[in-house]
Amino acid sequence: MAVLSAPLTTVAQAAATPTASFAKVSEWGSGWEGRYTITNSGASTITSWRVEFDLPAGTTVGSYWDATLTSSGQHHTFGNRAWNGTVNPGASVTFGFVGTGPGAPVGCRLNGQPCAGGSTPTPTASPTPTPTPTVPPGSTPVAANGQLRVCGRQLCNARGKAIQLRGMSTHGLQWYANCATAGSLDVLANEWRADVLRISMYVQEGGYETDPRRFTDLVHNYIELATARGMYAIVDWHMLTPGDPNANLDRARTFFAEIADRHRAKNNVIYEIANEPNGVAWSAIKSYADQIIPVIRTRDADAVVLVGTPDWSSLGASGEGGGPDVIAANPVTAGNVMYVFHFYAASHDDYYLDTVTRAADRLPLFVTEFGTQEYTGDGPNNFTMAQRYLDLFASRKISWVNWNFSDDFRSGAVFTTGTCGAGQFSGTGRLKEAGVWIRDRIRTPDDF
């Protein structure tokens, strides 16, 4: 994919004013992803920024991230978020958006001055970070597999071949949206070679219920980012308390109707309709699924749907909600459905491993969340037990997603604290022990 950036002039002295450079980092059909990098080349800290430009007629702005946006006709103004307005001397911040149409920004101004730095020439080196090498066209997971479906107990690609997807889950978007950015997802797709991104949108705990419009738009943005990088996108309705998914039934109907409406033409969206049901029997979870799945199916007839299982999606191993036999005796009445299993290796021992082994003989499974730590996402790692699970999943071609792609202080977050604010995601220098371990296992070649 071509990277088109604004030309920079060469001078002998450093620029005294901040600059903003634009690049099209990917293009597809009628759309493209654009990115601005704001670099503070002066001696004083910038405490806020505003980038404004015009787009030619016929070109529009769709999804955007890491910025606010106001538009008037073809004139668009992006401003900083609360957490990325400060730019120290020598530092940079980025924001991005999806454009539709053939044009590109013109007449850019940063805080009222020309984006190239006014009358002071810009530095020789481009302030745009060197892009991570892109995946060759046609070799991305979505390009290789197309629309997924469930065949028997397996996840299969468009040609009917059983496949295994491997990837990462975001942390809660209300807390760690700055860890899932265009830059970090470049690294996830191209360095880690991930097949799938799980977009973890909490319903409570400061999530969707507090601002449905904001969180729905965030999910739209992340679907577009995953799509541009050729990854599958799991839309995770991340419910925990209350544990009965029916308590949020109306909210779920509204949310999934809009998501499926917007993205129905895509072949990479997977719907996880209830993250971790708990405190309720399988019959209650099934009733919820039987009501939500038609909302999706009337809009997106072919997508795979993932249904949570009793007792925090442990397939009933953590309580009395019903195990694999109960689910198999009364399955969800819809096609292209898989059942969810979660585990944390330092807490969930042979009993859980035996449970998922038995379940794999009867049910199509997708592991949408696991960690090498305790069930809290913290504590010591048990890589030996985690590898036993992954060996089983490899032998059965059960797809998995690790928790989580953030710099949370807990041991289950892959990045060290402060990584996301610094925007330094490439390589292994900012990874925790679990981050290095899971990156190595995602990077092994796929059998597509």
Distance CA 232, CA 421 (A): 26
Considering 33, 224, 272, 276, which one is annotated as catalytic?
276
Is the link from the previous residue into 242 a cis peptide, with omega within 30 of 0? yes
Alpha helix (H) ranges present in 264-417? 282-297, 310-313, 324-329, 350-360, 383-396
205 labelled catalytic: no
Phi, psi of 39 (to 5 degrees): -120, 130
198: left (phi over 0), alpha (psi -120 to 50) or beta: beta
What Rg value do the Cα atoms of the chain yield, rounded? 22
Q: What is the DSSP string of 127-194?
A: SSPPPPPPPPTT-SHHHHH-S-EEETTEEE-TTS-B---EEEE---HHHHGGGSSHHHHHHHHHTS--
User: 3-state class of 18 per DSSP?
Assistant: coil
The residue whose two tokens read 């049901």 is 277
Q: Are 263 and 300 in contact (CB under 8 A)?
A: yes
User: 3-state class of 367 per DSSP?
Assistant: strand
What letter represents residue 8's amino acid?
L
Considering 27, 369, 374, 433, which one is annotated as catalytic?
369
Tokens of 199: 């977009």
Which of the residues are catalytic?
Answer: 276, 369
